[in-house]
């Protein structure tokens, strides 16, 4: 998905991100189910500002008990791009257009929750027998 440099003005414009990463896995056990993201962009001198915002739906499993779950994550990820000649710039743009896909990809990656739990109170699995401790007690001795 290309954004052509002449289309980038000093006043902010927006476009909807195409769903090119549908169904991809972004972390072990985490699959992207869909997203609605908007790319807002404008130019400020040599710099180009991109802001990717919206929400995405993930399919994952609880880090503690392994229960499958779906979650919605809101995100807002800004990027500042500089001409390719700029040294020490984290993000650069070329001569004609900006390929937005890598930025959309990165915005998604940066917003995958580091820890995914079915509930903050999830008790996980018994380290002895492997039973889901959110259900009836398994009877094993508690270690610790």
| Interface residues toward Zn ion, by CB under 5 A | 62, 64-65, 67, 118, 122, 126, 128-129, 131, 138, 140
Buried b (16+ CB within 10 A) or exposed e, 38-65: ebebbbeeeebebbbbbebebbbebebb
Q: How far is the CB of 23 from Zn ion (least distance, A)?
A: 24
Nearer to Zn ion, 45 or 135 (CB): 135
Nearer to Zn ion, 63 or 106 (CB): 63
Q: How far is the CB of 21 from Zn ion (least distance, A)?
A: 26
Q: How far is the CB of 70 from Zn ion (least distance, A)?
A: 14
For 98-112, give the DSSP string: EE-HHHHHHHHHHTS
Nearer to Zn ion, 11 or 143 (CB): 143
Nearer to Zn ion, 51 or 64 (CB): 64
Q: How far is the CB of 28 from Zn ion (least distance, A)?
A: 16
CA distance 133 to 138: 7
10 Å Cβ neighbour count for 81? 22
Of the candidates 27, 37, 35, 106, the one whose C-alpha atom is nearest the C-alpha of residue 60 is 27
């Amino acid at each position: 998905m290309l954004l052509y440099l002449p289309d980038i003005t000093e006043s902010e414009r927006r476009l909807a991100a195409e769903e090119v990463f549908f169904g991809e896995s972004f972390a072990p056990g985490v699959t992207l189910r869909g997203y609605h993201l908007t790319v807002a962009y404008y130019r400020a001198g040599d710099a180009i500002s991109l802001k990717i915002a919206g929400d995405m739906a993930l399919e994952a499993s609880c880090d503690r008990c392994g229960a499958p779950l779906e979650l919605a994550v809101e995100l807002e990820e800004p990027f500042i791009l500089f001409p390719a000649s700029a040294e020490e710039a984290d993000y650069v743009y070329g001569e004609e257009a900006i390929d937005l896909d890598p930025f959309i990809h990165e915005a998604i990656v940066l917003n995958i929750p580091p820890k995914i739990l079915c509930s903050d109170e999830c008790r996980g699995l018994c380290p002895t027998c492997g039973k889901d401790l959110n259900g009836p007690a398994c009877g094993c001795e508690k270690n610790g």
